[in-house]
Chains A and B, each alone.
Chain A
Amino acid sequence: MAKVKIPENKVQELRDLCKNFDNEPGELINVLHGAQGMFGYLPAEVQEIVADEMNVSVAHVYGVVTFYSFFSMLPKGKHPISICMGTACYVRGAEKVLDEFKRHLEVKVGETTPDGKYSLSCLRCVGACGLAPVVTIGERVYGRVSPEDVRGILEEY
């Protein structure tokens, strides 16, 4: 894990975010949600500041961050790819689609390509089960994706 230096104004912004939730330990998830919105991900340094402000241990913050798949400790790529692994998508072959993305991008789930262009993650149901299997890239939604489509989709970016 590389050391990240957070600019001083961002640190202040993060502290203000915690204050907006009254530094209430019960609001930790909301604070982390906001912090991820601010930085795009939750590096160790951000978690340390949040722990300090909210008066909880860093271990506890890390525990929450690693429990919820929404939170990420790695920066997302410019084009974040999410493959739906919900029941409908799964039974219609989402895993094969995921394998194809992994093969093309040479990254594992939760990782970002070295050039920072793509990141790969899984999610559970986007509410478009009729289009299963579903892949989202940024704000765009791709439906009825087959492994053969993957290459073409990536070439759009």
Chain B
Amino acid sequence: MNLVKLTIDNKPVVVEKGTTLLEAAKSIGVNIPSLCYMKMDDMNFENKPGGCRVCVVEVEGRRNLAPACKTECMEGMEVHTHSVRVINARRTVVELILSDHPPECLTCAKSGECELQDLAQNLGIREIHYTGEQSTYKGDQSPAIIREMDKCIMCRRCETACNEVQTVGVLSAVNRGFESVVAPAFEMDLDHSVCTYCGQCVAVCPTGALTERDYTWKVIEALVDPAKTVVVQTAPAVRAALGEAFGMEAGNLVTGKMVAALRKLGFDYVFDTDFAADLTIMEEGTELLDRLNRHLNGDQDVKLPILTSCCPGWVKFFEHHFPEMKDVPSTAKSPQQMFGSIAKSYFAKKLDKKREDLVVVSVMPCLAKKYECTREEFSVNGDADVNVSISTRELAQLIRNANIDFTSLTDENFDNPLGESTGASVIFGTTGGVIEAAVRTAYEVHTGKTLEKVDFEELRGMEGSRKATVDFDGLKLNIGIAHGLGNARKLLEDVKSGKSEFHAIEIMACPGGCIGGGGQPYHHGDVDILKKRQRAIYEEDAGKPIRKSHENPFIQELYAEFLGKPLSDLSHELLHTHYFDRKKKAEVK
């Protein structure tokens, strides 16, 4: 290992060669402010264009100030991070950025979470000495994401997320100089682009330029309508992150408080998407075994590997980029949509109500779910199975709006029948979880034996792409896992070229899986937050009395009373879907 010695603010520090000044300073407790810079280990995310110049420092012997995020440590360097020259330059830089930024902090959706706002506050900027023209761009409202590029500071983090991490390729810097803006090709709206609505651009945007489409008001309208029965479902990853929005430490499970808050908000039934996740396992797991058995019996037509289909960002991704493989993923709907179908058929019947009298609200860690519930195939005669999808952040907003002191709430339980769930469904919220849940059930169905150890450590972790072999009593099942669409793309290329040895592949669009979804409380680049959420998810699983989907008594009841068996005609009608070829040319306006 090659080490270099230097001083930062007169403190000696020894670091490995190649370390940047920013990282070296951090290691000795000197936090140099930065803005465009963002790095997330394990997530393949590194954005350091050196564009904003907020992190400039003074290096003795150098004529110009150096950007700490891009300058490597050298032997004998003497670095000053808060000399008068540095402070003046940094303030000037921030004032110039602010001079071309709408002064809308009071009403901005990002207020309180905005890194530019924090920076101005930390530097004590009280006046902007520069006035001039402000850049303005047309707004863009898609069903999931809102772009207000007037607020863009050209940090390029969204481009890194969209192109390098996700390989979706929607966003690029276009035009030049004062006119430059990050936009889709031909400056078309997101709606017309190949955007998957994964929301990773929103998750990393430092300002209010990219935010989610806010549907909280639609929820309030439904709640006050006496003619409507309002049913809410909450995705597994929400309970592992919602507490952060109320100042709680990341990784705190707030399932009981979340249920209590939803009841206080006035929902008639507080249900759990986890119930539908158990249902997904019944359908998807059976489909996997069916395909596998046919494959083993020599059926050449059967497509393997089977790919999971819970993630709407991933579904839209393969519809755009791999439409020729659209019969490879499982036909099972996502848990959100399965829940909607069952709520508006089975449960509506139990209540003796028409489906139109029910409003189904989903709380998701995700922005793509907002888009998913607007897909035409998920509605009956114009009535959507899931009427409104809000993010974890929007739920926090609703709770604050209703004057609820979240942290002091007493835990409450979900309602039945659609609120009962198993440990298998909880882990849907993290990468590796869906396939582990499927394996728990498929093993028992295939072998007829009881699975004693339900924890499959080999399927867990944070590496972007993982593989494991699970022994089904002699049958070796090869399993692949990818999170982040860039990693998914690599596995798919192998499937396409026939090189893949996998029987089943789990794919989640967001790095970390749903715990890192675009609708979660902002992580501001801290990967530890995602890891803590992941631990919380496994904790909830371990604490559940039932940990296999097929043992959920209300799932058993649903099949006995209503669906018959997995892959029955009614199951196909309500719980399965089909995919579209979206590889058409971009729609030029």
10 more A-B contacts (CB under 8 A) besides A59-B183, A60-B163, A67-B176?
Answer: A44-B586, A47-B185, A48-B586, A57-B170, A57-B172, A58-B586, A59-B193, A60-B172, A63-B172, A63-B173
B176 touches A60 (CB 8 A): no
Q: Does A12 contact B (CB under 8 A)?
A: no
B residues 155-189 in Cβ contact with A at 8 Å: 163, 169-176, 183-187
Closest-by-CB residue of A relative to B163 is A57
Q: Does B351 contact A (CB under 8 A)?
A: no
Q: Does A3 contact B (CB under 8 A)?
A: yes
A residues 40-72 in Cβ contact with B at 8 Å: 44-45, 47-48, 56-63, 66-67, 69
Asked, given contacts A58-B185, A59-B184, A62-B185, whether A44 binds B588 with beta carbons under 8 Å apart, the answer is yes
Residues of B within 8 A of A56 (CB): 169
B residues 545-589 in Cβ contact with A at 8 Å: 585-586, 588-589
B169 touches A1 (CB 8 A): no
B588 touches A59 (CB 8 A): no
Question: Smallest CB–CB gap between A110 and chain B, Å?
Answer: 12
Asked, given contacts A1-B589, A44-B586, A44-B588, whether A57 binds B169 with beta carbons under 8 Å apart, the answer is yes
Residues of B within 8 A of A57 (CB): 163, 169-170, 172, 185
A60 touches B169 (CB 8 A): yes
Pick 25 A–B contacts, CB within 8 A, sort by A.
Answer: A1-B186, A1-B588, A1-B589, A44-B186, A45-B585, A45-B588, A57-B169, A58-B169, A58-B186, A59-B169, A59-B171, A59-B172, A59-B174, A59-B183, A60-B163, A60-B172, A61-B185, A62-B172, A62-B174, A62-B187, A66-B174, A66-B176, A67-B175, A67-B176, A69-B176
Residues of B within 8 A of A3 (CB): 588
Bound Cα distance from A76 to B151, whole angstroms: 35
Question: Smallest CB–CB gap between B571 and chain A, Å?
Answer: 39
Bound Cα distance from A1 to B586, whole angstroms: 13
Interface of A is mostly: helix
Residues of A within 8 A of B187 (CB): 62
Report the 8 A-B pairs with minimum CB-CB distance, sorted nearest first.
Answer: A57-B169, A59-B172, A63-B172, A58-B185, A59-B185, A62-B185, A44-B588, A66-B174
Bound Cα distance from A56 to B164, whole angstroms: 12
Residues of B within 8 A of A45 (CB): 585, 588
Number of residue pairs across A and B with beta carbons under 8 Å? 52
Residues of A within 8 A of B174 (CB): 59, 62-63, 66-67
Closest-by-CB residue of B relative to A44 is B588
A62 touches B163 (CB 8 A): no
Residues of A within 8 A of B186 (CB): 1, 44, 58, 62
Interface residues of chain A, those whose CB is within 8 Å of chain B, are 1, 3, 44-45, 47-48, 56-63, 66-67, 69
Bound Cα distance from A47 to B188, whole angstroms: 14
Residues of B within 8 A of A47 (CB): 185
Closest-by-CB residue of B relative to A1 is B588
Bound Cα distance from A3 to B171, whole angstroms: 22
Bound Cα distance from A1 to B170, whole angstroms: 19
Bound Cα distance from A69 to B186, whole angstroms: 16
Question: Smallest CB–CB gap between B589 and chain A, Å?
Answer: 6
Question: Smallest CB–CB gap between B384 and chain A, Å?
Answer: 31
Bound Cα distance from A69 to B175, whole angstroms: 9
Closest-by-CB residue of B relative to A62 is B185
Question: Smallest CB–CB gap between A73 and chain B, Å?
Answer: 8
Residues of A within 8 A of B163 (CB): 57, 60
Residues of A within 8 A of B586 (CB): 44, 48, 58
Closest-by-CB residue of B relative to A60 is B172
Residues of A within 8 A of B171 (CB): 59
Q: Counting chain B CB atoms within 10 Å of each CB, which of A44, A60, A63 scores highest?
A: A63
Bound Cα distance from A44 to B174, whole angstroms: 14
Question: Smallest CB–CB gap between B489 and chain A, Å?
Answer: 12
Bound Cα distance from A56 to B172, whole angstroms: 11
B238-265 toward A: CB 8 Å interface, digit per residue (1/0)? Answer: 0000000000000000000000000000
Closest-by-CB residue of B relative to A65 is B174
Question: Smallest CB–CB gap between A111 and chain B, Å?
Answer: 16
Bound Cα distance from A44 to B185, whole angstroms: 9
Question: Smallest CB–CB gap between A75 and chain B, Å?
Answer: 15
Question: Smallest CB–CB gap between B157 and chain A, Å?
Answer: 16
Question: Smallest CB–CB gap between A32 and chain B, Å?
Answer: 14
Bound Cα distance from A12 to B187, whole angstroms: 27
Residues of B within 8 A of A63 (CB): 172-174
Asked, given contacts A1-B186, A3-B588, A48-B585, whether A59 binds B175 with beta carbons under 8 Å apart, the answer is no
Bound Cα distance from A61 to B186, whole angstroms: 10
Question: Smallest CB–CB gap between A55 and chain B, Å?
Answer: 10
Bound Cα distance from A45 to B186, whole angstroms: 11
Question: Smallest CB–CB gap between A43 and chain B, Å?
Answer: 9
Closest-by-CB residue of B relative to A3 is B588
Residues of B within 8 A of A61 (CB): 185
Bound Cα distance from A66 to B175, whole angstroms: 5
Bound Cα distance from A59 to B162, whole angstroms: 11
Bound Cα distance from A27 to B417, whole angstroms: 60
Closest-by-CB residue of B relative to A4 is B588
Q: Counting chain B CB atoms within 10 Å of each CB, which of A1, A3, A62 scores highest?
A: A62
Residues of B within 8 A of A44 (CB): 185-186, 586, 588
